[in-house]
Amino acid sequence: MSNYRPISIINSIVKVYEKIIFNQLSEYLTLNNILSPRKHFSTTSALLKFTNDIFSGFDNNMLTGALFIDLTKAFDMVDHYLLLDKLHSIGLDRSSLLWFNSYLHHRQQCVLFNGSYSNFLSVDKGVPQGSSLGPLLFSIFINDLPTKCIYTNIQLYADDTVIYTSKSNIVDIQHSIQHDFNSVQLWLQSNKLLLNKSKSYFMLFQKRLRPVAASEINLTYLDMSPISAAEKFKYLGLWLDSSLSFSAHIQSIVHKISYRLKLLYLSINCFSLSVRKKIISQLIIPTLDYGDIIYQNTTLTNLRPLNVIYNSLCRFILRCPFRTHHCLMFQQLSWLPLSSRRQLHWLLFIFKCINLSWFPRELPLIGPSCSHFHHQPHSI
C-alpha cells in the first residue's frame, strides 16, 4: 500500500489552461536563466554527461565516487508554502503567486475500489501528479540544491539525484562526498523532504586494472548510520557497473527481451507478418534503442548478445529458419544492422546538439572517452 500514489484526474479544459501557464513560466525561467537548461533534455543527455565525466576520470587515472540519492515520495512531499516562497524569490509578482496559491491549495483526493468511493481527504502538500505544471514546480523547488555541493558535482533529473567526484585516492573522495552530502541532508530537512535510506547507494567507479573495494569508503548519514555500497546500480533506466562495462545492462536487456519473445511465440500463429513487425517495432525495439549511444563503445564481446537477440526478433517477424543469414533478414525488413542503428542514433544526437541552441557546451560532442575499450568511437 505504501507504493500507491495519488494521480490528479484533470479535465481537458484545465489541461489546456495548465499548458498555457506552463509555457509562460518556462519562457520566464529560460529568459532569466533561472533554471539550468533542461528544455529538450532527456535521460540520455543526463546519462551521457554523467558517464563521460567518469570516463574522463579513467583517462586521468582517477577514481570516481558517486552517491545516488533517493527521496521518499518526492513530488508528494513538496510543502506548498515553501514552494510559494521560492516562486516569490525567482521574481513572480503578487497576482501570479495568488494564482499558484489557489492552484495548490484546497485539493482533495479519494480512492475508488470496486465501484465504491472512500471519504475525501485534503491534500495539504505535494504538486499534482499527472499535470503539466507538477514536474516544473518540483524543479523550481529543488533548484537551489546544487549550491550546497562545493567539493563535488551534482546532477538532478526530476527526483533522481547523484553526487559524484573524481579523485586520485579514496580519502579525498570520502571527504568531498561526505562534506557535501551532509549539506544536502541539512537542506532536505529544512525543505521538509525525506531521504529514502533503503534506496540510496554509493558506488565507486574504477578501471579494472586498479581494483579498490567500495566498502573501503565509509560514508554515513547525519545519524551516523552507514550508507550501503553497491557494485551495480540502475540510474535513469541504465544499469551501471563499477567499471562501466555495461555488461549488467546488456544482460538485463537480453533477459527482458528473451522473456517477452518467448511469450510472443506462444501466439505467433495469431499474428500476420505486418502485425508481428509492428509488435516488435513498437514494444521490443525501444528497449534495445534506449541508451544505446551510452554503451555503444563497450567491447564487442559485451555487444554480441544484443546482436543475437536482434536476429531472433527478425526471425520471429519473418518466421524464417535459424540458418537464414542475418543480411537477408535485414534486407527483407529494411532494417539496419544493430551496430549501424546505434551509429545512426549517435549521429542524430550530435546533429541535434549542433543545430539546437539548447545544447550545453559541457556535454561531449565526440563521444565518451573509451581508451580502455577495444575500439574507439565512430569518427565524425
| End-to-end C-alpha distance for the chain, whole angstroms | 51
- Helix pair 80-89, 133-141: axis angle to 10 deg: 80
Cell numbers linked to 89 = 524569490
Cα separation of 124 and 105, whole Å? 7
DSSP conformational letter for 225? P
Look at residue 367 in the predicted model and tell me its pLDDT. Answer: 45
Alpha carbon separation from 47 to 50, 293, 369 (Å, rounded): 5, 10, 14
Per-residue buried b or exposed e for 323-334, using 16+ beta carbons within 10 Å of the residue's own CB: eeebeebbeebe
Opening angle at CA 371, ends 61 and 44, nearest 5: 95
Amino acid in the structure at residue 157: Y
Amino acid in the structure at residue 146: P
Determine the length of the chain. Answer: 380
Look at residue 3 in the predicted model and tell me its pLDDT. Answer: 67
Look at residue 73 in the predicted model and tell me its pLDDT. Answer: 87
The CB density around residue 211, as the number of other CB atoms within 10 Å, is 10
Q: Which residue's entry shows cell 548478445?
A: 305
Three-state secondary-structure class, residue 250? helix
The sign one gets for the Cα dihedral 352, 355, 357, 363 is positive
Look at residue 84 in the predicted model and tell me its pLDDT. Answer: 95
- Give me the tens of pLDDT residue by residue for the chain, a chain 380 residues long: 666 777 777 888 888 999 999 999 998 998 888 886 565 678 898 999 999 999 999 999 899 999 999 998 888 899 999 999 999 999 999 999 999 999 998 888 888 888 898 898 888 898 888 888 988 999 999 999 999 999 999 999 888 899 999 999 899 999 999 999 999 999 999 999 999 998 999 999 998 766 777 667 889 999 999 999 998 999 999 999 999 999 999 999 999 999 999 999 999 999 999 999 999 999 999 999 999 999 998 999 999 999 999 999 999 999 998 889 999 999 999 999 999 999 999 999 988 888 765 445 445 544 444 434 333 333 33
